[in-house]
Amino acid sequence: MSENKLSEIRDFDSTSLGMFLFSWRKHLIIITLVAAILAAFFSSSLFITPLYRSTVVLFPVSSNSVSRALLTDQPTAKTDILEFGEDEQTEQMLQILSSSNIRDKVIQKFDLMNHYRINPRSKYKNTTLYRQYENNITFRRTEFMAVRITVLDRDAQMAADIANSISELLDSTKNAMQRERAMKGFAIVEQEYFKLRDEIAAMEDSLRTIREMGVYDYESQSEMFNRQLAIEIARGNERGIKSLEEKLNVLAQYGGAYVSLRDMLEHEKKQLSYLKARYEEAKVDAMENLPQKFVVESAYKAERKSYPVRWIIVLVSAIAAFLLSAIVIITIEKLPEFKTLKKTTFKKNKV
């Protein structure tokens, strides 16, 4: 008898299973339908808040400096303001988007503490708020090195507004970060530029004073006076000799200072020209801004909810209920046979 039972159990193949389930079809259908109905009910808006999705797709720019992109005269340093950024710029964009600076501005602008229905008197209100923010607002890099901003919210228009606002905040946040550094750089260049300009003005005043004393061009005047002095000496013109000697004494007294100032002034003016170009570039970087991204796709109000996907919940619940109920029925049906077989085998072995 035990051998027949064992044979029946071993022969419980797919055909037998199909026939077995068919014999229990009414129970399985009822259980599956009930599970599907319950899943549809509990996945409704009464229990799960429906969420709408809005997305913005951005590409980073390759250049952050206005002067470098537009004003520099160095071909190797110049970049195209219309060029898309690469992997490094994408990572920078993701880091800025995830910053607390943008997060706090979004929370304040849209009053998310109240919108997410968080108790402001709760001990962990900020922790709950930040967790909700991170669950509903995500930033991902696409396969094409773009950045996708995704916002989920129970209000479709709010989701679109938050996504577009974050896109706008990227510009202001990054520009503010760069302007802080650019302003300090501009202050340094401005100080050096005006300092050198004042020094050049002082040297020009000194050179003007020397010229008023009769020194206009040391080299040519010296050569001309010495040639004329030789002529006057040959003529024996004492008065002419005395006049030329006085002029040569003036050249001797102020000629060295004249040459030194003239050469220094020429060098400093070249430095001033270079520094002025840097000053203008630093001023543009400190005062002007360029957009920090290319907007590929702006967010719009979604017409259909994105979460929860009720048909998937219903389908998975129905399949799970069917499989679980089938396993339970099979276990209940075959368990007495296994127990009887086990007892019979135990007695036989004992004998």
Could you read off the pLDDT of 100-130 as tens digits, one per residue? Answer: 999 999 999 999 999 999 998 888 999 999 9
- What's the rounded mean pLDDT across residues 264-292? 84
Last residue of a domain, one of 237, 254, 287: 287
Backbone angles phi, psi at 153, to 5 degrees: -160, 155
304 is a domain residue: no
Residues 162 and 116 in one domain: yes
Tell me which residue range forms the domain holding 229. 186-287
Question: What proportion of the chain, given as a percentage, has pLDDT over 70?
Answer: 80
In our burial notation (b when 16+ CB lie closer than 10 A, e otherwise), range 306-322 reads: eebebeebbeebbeebb
Look at the pTM and tell me if it is higher than 0.85.
no
303 is a domain residue: no
The DSSP result for 198-253, as a single string, is HHHHHHHHHHHHHHHTT-S-HHHHHHHHHHHHHHHHHHT-HHHHHHHHHHHHHHHH
Other residues' Cβ atoms within 10 Å of the Cβ of residue 215: 22
Domain count, the chain: 3
Residues 171 and 69 in one domain: yes
The pLDDT of residue 17 is 66
Q: What is the CATH number of the domain that holds 74?
A: 3.30.70.1130
Residues 281 and 201 in one domain: yes
